[in-house]
């Protein structure tokens, strides 16, 4: 067999490293664009956000945006998926911190909703932008619906356990729905900023609700500090 001189043979490990580097670079670039999209949604709203705005916000060329996402719709779907996964990981981690105690689990999950990492005006505004479009966009409904269903099922399960343990007379499903609606309403008030509502006072209100519904598991004496704007 004739030997080929001058040919550079790249070791397999080195090739794998190059592939990982390209992948990491791609993921990093896409995350930059998604973060810039969240910024634009918070600043301009859904309809006014453009690919050019995102490119400028990320400090990248418009060609880079087109290369990674091809269209505004694909970019927005990726952004919503990112936010949904981020929220899901956040509350699931909070749930795990509660151990096997349903009261601790519920307290931890509720508290996580007001963590600055996800509960800030920038991300709340982006969520509201997507909520406003979800009714007419099946893809958005599917992404938000899957997240909401998983979350709601966990809350219902916790409420059922607390009902049995405390011998309460409420309907567990209705109570879980009411709690979820209250948390979403507090998020909306925080985003609107029209009242003296802070993350701390919103968390206080949610915990006060827990003490009202589950008096054998939550005490008003142990409520978190209430801080107004």
Report pLDDT digits (tens) over 81-124: 999 999 999 999 999 999 999 999 999 999 999 999 999 999 99
Enumerate residues 6+ apart whose C-beta is below 8 A from 130. 41, 46, 76, 80, 83, 140, 144
91 assigned to some structural domain: yes
Give residue 227's pLDDT: 57
Q: Which of 56, 162, 183 is nearest to 113 (CA)?
A: 183
Q: For residues 40 and 144, state if they share a domain.
A: no
Q: For residues 93 and 64, state if they share a domain.
A: no
Give residue 194's pLDDT: 67
Q: For residues 202 and 148, state if they share a domain.
A: yes
Give residue 126's pLDDT: 92
Q: For residues 140 and 34, state if they share a domain.
A: no
Prediction pTM value = 0.80
Please give the full DSSP string across the chain, using - where no structure is assigned: ----TT-----HHHHHHHHHHHHHHHHHHHHHHHHHHHHHHHHH-TTT--HHHHHHHHT--HHHHHHHHSSHHHHHHHHHHHHHHHHHHHHHHHHHHTTT-HHHHHHHHHHHTT-TTT-SHHHHHHHHHHHHHHTT-HHHHHHHHHHHHHHHHHHHHHHHHHHHHHT--S-HHHHHHHHHHHHHHHHHHHHH--SS--HHHHHHHHHHHHHHH-TTT--GGGPPPP---
Q: Is the pLDDT of residue 2 over 50?
A: no
Give residue 7's pLDDT: 42
Q: At what angle are helices 51-58 and 62-69 packed, to 10 degrees?
A: 110
**CA gap 109, 92 in Å, rounded:** 8
Total tally of structural domains belonging to the chain: 2
Q: According to the 3-state scheme, what is the secondary structure of 39-57?
A: HHHHHHCCCCCCHHHHHHH
Contact predicate 147/84, CB 8 Å: yes
Q: For residues 169 and 61, state if they share a domain.
A: no
Residue ranges making up the domain that contains 52: 11-70
Report pLDDT digits (tens) over 13-54: 444 534 443 444 788 889 999 999 999 999 999 889 999 999
5 assigned to some structural domain: no
**Position with higher pLDDT, 121 vs 4:** 121
Enumerate residues 6+ apart whose C-beta is below 8 A from 151. 88, 91, 180
Q: For residues 39 and 143, state if they share a domain.
A: no
């Amino acid at each position: 067999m004739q030997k080929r001189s001058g040919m550079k043979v790249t070791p397999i490990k080195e090739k794998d490293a190059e592939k990982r580097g390209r992948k990491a670079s791609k993921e990093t670039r896409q995350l930059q664009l998604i973060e810039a999209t969240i910024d634009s949604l918070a600043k301009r709203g859904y309809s006014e956000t453009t690919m050019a705005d995102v490119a400028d916000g990320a400090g990248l060329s418009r060609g880079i945006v087109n290369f990674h996402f091809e269209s505004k719709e694909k970019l927005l779907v990726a952004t919503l998926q990112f936010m949904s996964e981020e929220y899901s990981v956040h509350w699931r981690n909070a749930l795990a911190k509660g151990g096997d105690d349903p009261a601790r689990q519920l307290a931890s999950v509720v508290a996580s909703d007001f963590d600055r990492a996800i509960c800030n005006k920038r991300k709340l505004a982006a969520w509201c932008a997507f909520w406003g479009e979800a009714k007419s966009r099946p893809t958005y409904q599917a992404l938000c619906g899957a997240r909401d269903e998983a979350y709601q099922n966990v809350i219902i399960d916790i409420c059922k356990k607390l009902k049995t343990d405390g011998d309460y007379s409420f309907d567990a499903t209705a109570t879980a729905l009411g709690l979820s609606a209250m948390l979403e309403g507090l998020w909306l008030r925080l985003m609107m900023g029209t009242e003296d509502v802070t993350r701390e006072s919103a968390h206080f209100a949610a915990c006060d609700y827990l003490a009202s519904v589950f008096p054998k598991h939550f005490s008003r004496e142990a409520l978190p500090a209430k801080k107004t704007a």
